[in-house]
Chain A
Amino acid sequence: MIAQWIYRALLRLYPRDYTAAFADEMLAAFEKGWEERQRQGRAALARFALTEVAGLVTGVGAEWIARLTTDSSVRGRGLPDLRKMRPAGVPSELWFGAAGSNSPQSSLPLEVAQAQERVAFLVGGMVHAIANHDFQAARSYSYEEYRARDTLCSLRKKYGLDQ
């Protein structure tokens, strides 16, 4: 479908972190909207297409301005993808080793993958707690993360993944 192809091309104009976080969802929403307007006739479809293009053009401008003017720690609150977050100390080639698969950890033993997911989950929880000024929860997440990282280290040694 040409409209879908054009929309996908326009999405590439957004900053990369934004595209990684929202492009799939935006495309899915656009496709649903397009299908619905197709049933309503040409005029509705043309209005929809124009609104979408205008929204994308202004959105791209606004996102680039935001990208250039917002501190990365603040921007990171809105755009982290925990499934892709690589815990500190885990080599990127190992974390992203399974290129082309849906899960970046799928080449790892299950135990290790689960331990990595737990570390990532706890880091996410800590960031969220700090952002909400809930420092007691943040301390508790930090303590749990410390322990989870220890477990991860021993599992990596067990499976000889540190070499």
Chain B
Amino acid sequence: MRHVALQPDATETKPLTEPVLLILLSLADRPRHGYALMKDIESLSHGRVRLSTGTLYGALRRLLEDTWIERFKQEDTSREKQAYRLTSAGRRQLQLELGRMKQLTQAASVRLRAKEV
């Protein structure tokens, strides 16, 4: 039997871009289709981020390719209302990113407090 050592995935350590992070966050609680994602991302970012359809679907295509999300078959299946949901790999990436951000904000808070004292 041939044993293969798995190399750590390079994308695992790479910080996520804001649209990707927001897409993963939006899919964290339930599956959503394209337009619902756009609206939810707008509300998640308090109106600061408004993704165009080109940006959204480009990111969705890459996330499907990385198998971080998958297409989700709903009862009323029409091609225009294709929903997407997080895979376990996508959820893990989101948790890694949130952990990274948490660590960064903690470090930043410590520095700011030190400066104030």
Contacts and interface: CB of A to CB of B under 8 A. Distances in A.
Of all A-B residue pairs in the complex, the 9 with the closest CB atoms, nearest first, are A55-B52, A55-B54, A59-B54, A78-B64, A28-B80, A78-B65, A56-B54, A29-B34, A29-B35
B62 A78 contact: yes
A132 B54 contact: no
Interface stretch (A17-25, A91-99, A103-111): A17-25
Contact of B57 (A25, A57, A74, A75): A25
A128 B54 contact: no
A27 interface: yes
A26 B34 contact: yes
B33 interface: yes
Nearest to B56: A29
B38 A51 contact: no
B51 to A, nearest CB: 8
B82 A25 contact: yes
B87 A132 contact: yes
A25 B89 contact: no
A52 interface: yes
Given A24-B79, A28-B34, 18 more contacts: A18-B61, A21-B61, A22-B57, A24-B80, A25-B34, A27-B80, A28-B35, A28-B80, A29-B53, A33-B35, A54-B54, A55-B53, A55-B55, A59-B52, A66-B62, A74-B65, A78-B63, A79-B61
Interface residues of A, number: 34
Contact of B58 (A27, A28, A33, A62): A62
Interface residues on B, range: 20 to 34
Contact of A26 (B53, B62, B88): B53
A128 B35 contact: no
Of the candidates A52, A58, A78, A128, the one having the most CB atoms from chain B within 10 angstroms of its own CB is: A78
Interface string A51-76: 11011111110110010001000110
9 contacts: A18-B61, A24-B80, A26-B34, A26-B54, A28-B81, A29-B53, A32-B35, A56-B52, A63-B61
A131 B55 CA distance: 25
A63 B34 contact: no
A131 B87 CA distance: 12
B67 interface: yes
B50 interface: yes
